[in-house]
């Protein structure tokens, strides 16, 4: 039976990062390993543990961590998202895996989804300790995706809200906040689509998630274009798992980015929306990732 233990490691600045470590039962050591994290604002408790267990059952040591400011990890302000800090923290997760006696440091892979699928592309391009990368329904271009979510008539007001937040912080105010999800499109929130509302508001342990983010997280998301790095992932093997009707991380952006990627690469295109990979498409998505890691690790 797969063992799950609570572990911690420190970011470079000393921020404590909480994680689950999954170890396969009765496996010959040292083992290949996979490092994982969730997407924009989600935690270990948002439907990702079954995949971590599937990887462990397939013979991989798995490290699944919460990003700083989220879930069980430390960091302030809470629910503040900086993609480049998250990427640097993830490098420390790789370093942590390298210290474990039952991990082969020359066989470490990385799996990311949605926003962290974008991180997977950047890390695959810039950290050669990784020997295989899986990016699932990835963020490719935050600006282009954001343009599709924001009514053009509201764009000036959105930009001014960013500027007001910056001015207030100069005077010592904490970062301003907004709701993350709300089904009412008239309420200021990052997402309004029913599938995102349902996924992010699922039951999680008390204190592990709250329905808000800092406004500056939204500004950073609109500046983040990880797809620009995709042709630099090679020669590290890259698997992209995409879905046909993704409105959160638009399908066409993912497919166009995949065309720019160099070999070795592979694409799995599944029917469904952004969260299908956790639900009705779980078996297809998990099997594809397991086979990719088994082939290259």
Looking at residue 149, what is its pLDDT? Answer: 82
As a whole number, mean pLDDT of residues 220-235 equals 98
Q: What was the pLDDT predicted at 92? A: 98
Q: Report the residue count for the chain.
A: 297
Dihedrals phi, psi of 137, to nearest 5 degrees: 35, 60
In angstroms, rounded to a whole number, what is the distance separating the alpha carbons of residues 39 and 248? 11
Q: What is the pLDDT of residues 125-150, one digit of tens each?
A: 999 999 999 999 999 999 999 888 88
pLDDT of residue 27: 79
Report the phi/psi class of residue 269: left, alpha or beta, with left for phi > 0 and alpha for psi in -120 to 50.
beta
For residue 202, what are the contacts with CB-CB under 8 A and spacing of at least 6?
46, 47
Q: Going along 38-102, which residue ranges are E strands?
A: 61-65
Question: Tell me: the pLDDT tens digits for 170-201?
Answer: 999 999 999 999 999 888 889 999 999 999 99
C-alpha span between 192 and 47 (Å, rounded): 20
Q: pLDDT of 250-263, one tens digit each?
A: 999 999 999 999 99
Residue 153: band (very low, low, confident or very high) from pLDDT cuts 50, 70, 90: confident
Average pLDDT of the chain to the nearest whole number: 96
Q: What is the pLDDT of residue 186?
A: 87
Sheet with 103-113, strands from edge to edge, namely: 3-10, 16-23, 61-65, 31-37, 103-113, 130-136, 238-243, 265-270
| Residue 1, both tokens | 């039976």
Cβ neighbors of 206 (< 8 A, separation 6 or more) are none
**DSSP-derived 3-state class of residue 162:** helix
Q: What is the pLDDT of residue 69?
A: 98
Q: Where are the domains of the chain?
A: 3-149+223-296
Q: Does the pTM exceed 0.85?
A: yes
Superfamily of domain 3-149+223-296 in the CATH hierarchy: Alpha/Beta hydrolase fold, catalytic domain (3.40.50.1820)
């Amino acid at each position: 039976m797969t063992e799950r233990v609570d572990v911690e490691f420190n970011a470079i600045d000393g921020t404590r990062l909480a994680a689950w470590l999954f170890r396969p039962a009765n496996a010959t050591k040292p083992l290949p390993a996979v490092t994982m994290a969730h997407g924009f604002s989600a935690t270990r408790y948002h439907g990702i543990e079954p995949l971590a267990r599937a990887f462990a059952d397939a013979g991989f040591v798995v490290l699944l961590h919460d990003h700083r400011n989220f879930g069980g990890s430390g960091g302030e302000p809470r629910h503040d998202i900086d993609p480049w800090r998250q990427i640097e923290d993830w490098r420390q997760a790789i370093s942590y895996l390298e210290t474990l006696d039952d991990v082969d440091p020359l066989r470490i892979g990385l799996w990311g989804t949605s926003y962290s699928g974008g991180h997977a592309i950047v890390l695959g391009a810039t950290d050669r300790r990784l020997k295989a990368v899986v990016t699932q329904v990835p963020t490719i271009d935050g600006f282009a995706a954001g343009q599709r979510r924001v009514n053009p008539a509201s764009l000036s007001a959105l930009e001014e809200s960013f500027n007001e937040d910056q001015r207030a912080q100069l005077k010592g105010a904490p970062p301003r906040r907004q709701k993350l999800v709300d089904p009412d499109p008239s309420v200021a929130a990052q997402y309004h689509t029913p599938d995102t509302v349902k996924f992010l508001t699922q039951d999680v342990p008390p204190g592990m998630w709250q329905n808000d983010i800092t406004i500056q997280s939204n500004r950073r998301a609109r500046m983040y274009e990880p797809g620009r790095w995709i042709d630099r992932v090679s020669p590290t093997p890259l698997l992209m798992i995409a879905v046909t009707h993704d409105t959160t991380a638009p399908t066409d952006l993912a497919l166009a980015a995949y065309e720019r990627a160099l070999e070795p690469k592979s694409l799995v295109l599944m029917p469904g929306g952004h969260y299908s990979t956790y639900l009705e498409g779980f078996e297809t998505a998990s099997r594809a990732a397991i086979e990719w890691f088994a082939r290259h690790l």
